Structure formats: structure tokens, C-alpha cells
């Protein structure tokens, strides 16, 4: 569900159900909310059956990953992994922490130097899968078949 303001997705809350085809497990659920109406926490929690992984804010360039393994009711073991951002020679960014994209840029540069047209860590098929999910969410928020596809992924009309 969501709202559109001036032709732009303004607030969206979505639940995505997905199959885990490569392992024997129950289907998974992903829930998220984005909005232009508030300054949100920007934290990501991935909840599993035996614990959770937490990317502290801002999750699009996290400096810390916390992994909590359930040890019993009310007891967890937490491991913390720090990933400090590289030194930043720039003082002003539109989006704080943007220097963190350094890692993605290096990964793409490495693949190109090796003559590859995709990265092992995030493949072309991964990108297409995300684009199709985003298009489905946009269709449900704006109405199916709307010409304002967010990702530009090809769909049959």
C-alpha cells in the first residue's frame, strides 16, 4: 500500500513473500516502509528463525553489522562486525555516508578490469529480480499497467 504525491511514490509499506528455492525452508517474508513524510530510522533488521542481523543506520552505507543468535528464550549471543568508512576528503554530501559507495565502485572496477560485465557479489540476475519486485510494488501502489515504471524493467502489457 502507499501514497503518491505529485506523481512520486511518497510513502510505501510493502510485504513481499518469496520462495527459498535452493534450500528446504519455508517461504520468507520481507516487510519494509519508506516515506518522504518523515525522517525515518534507516535501520535494517533481517529476522531469521534462529536469530537476526541488524544493519545500523544508515543501512545503505552501514558501518556496523550486529548478528544475534538466539540461545534460548530471552537469551542471545551477539557478534559485532565494524566496517569503518574510508577517509572522506569531501566535506559535503547530499546523502551522508556516500563515501561508503567506494566499496561498490571498487568491485565494479575490478570486474571491468578482469573483462567481466557483472560482479560475483551482485549479478545481473540479482538486479533484474530486484527490479521486478520494485515494479510489482509500484504497480500495486499506483495501479497495474501504469506507464510510470520505477525501474524501467521490461514487462508485457
pLDDT band at 22 (very low <50, low <70, confident <90, very high): low
Mean pLDDT over the full length of the chain: 81
Q: In this model, does residue 70 exceed pLDDT 90? A: yes
Average pLDDT on 23-29 reads: 70
CB neighbours of 156 closer than 8 A, spacing ≥ 6?
none
Report the alpha-carbon distance of residue 116 to residue 122 in Å, rounded. Answer: 12
Provide the pLDDT for residue 154.
35
Higher pLDDT, 113 or 106: 113
pTM for this one? 0.65
Provide the pLDDT for residue 103.
81
Q: What percent of the chain has pLDDT over 90?
A: 25
Measured in residues, the chain has a length of 157
Amino acid at each position: 500500500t502507499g501514497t503518491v504525491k505529485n506523481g512520486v511514490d511518497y510513502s510505501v509499506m510493502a510485504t513481499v513473500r518469496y520462495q527459498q528455492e535452493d534450500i528446504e525452508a519455508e517461504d520468507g517474508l520481507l516487510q519494509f516502509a519508506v516515506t518522504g513524510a518523515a525522517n525515518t530510522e534507516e535501520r535494517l533488521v533481517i529476522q531469521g528463525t534462529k536469530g537476526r542481523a541488524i544493519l545500523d543506520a544508515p543501512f545503505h552505507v552501514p558501518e556496523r553489522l550486529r548478528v544475534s543468535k538466539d540461545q534460548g528464550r530471552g537469551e542471545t549471543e551477539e557478534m559485532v562486525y565494524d566496517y569503518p568508512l574510508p577517509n572522506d576528503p569531501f566535506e559535503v554530501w547530499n546523502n551522508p555516508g556516500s563515501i561508503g559507495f567506494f566499496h561498490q565502485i571498487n568491485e565494479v572496477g575490478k570486474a571491468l578490469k578482469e573483462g567481466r560485465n557483472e560482479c560475483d557479489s551482485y549479478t545481473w540476475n540479482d538486479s533484474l529480480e530486484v527490479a521486478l519486485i520494485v515494479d510489482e510494488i509500484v504497480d500495486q501502489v499506483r495501479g497495474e499497467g501504469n506507464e510510470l515504471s520505477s525501474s524501467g524493467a521490461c514487462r508485457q502489457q
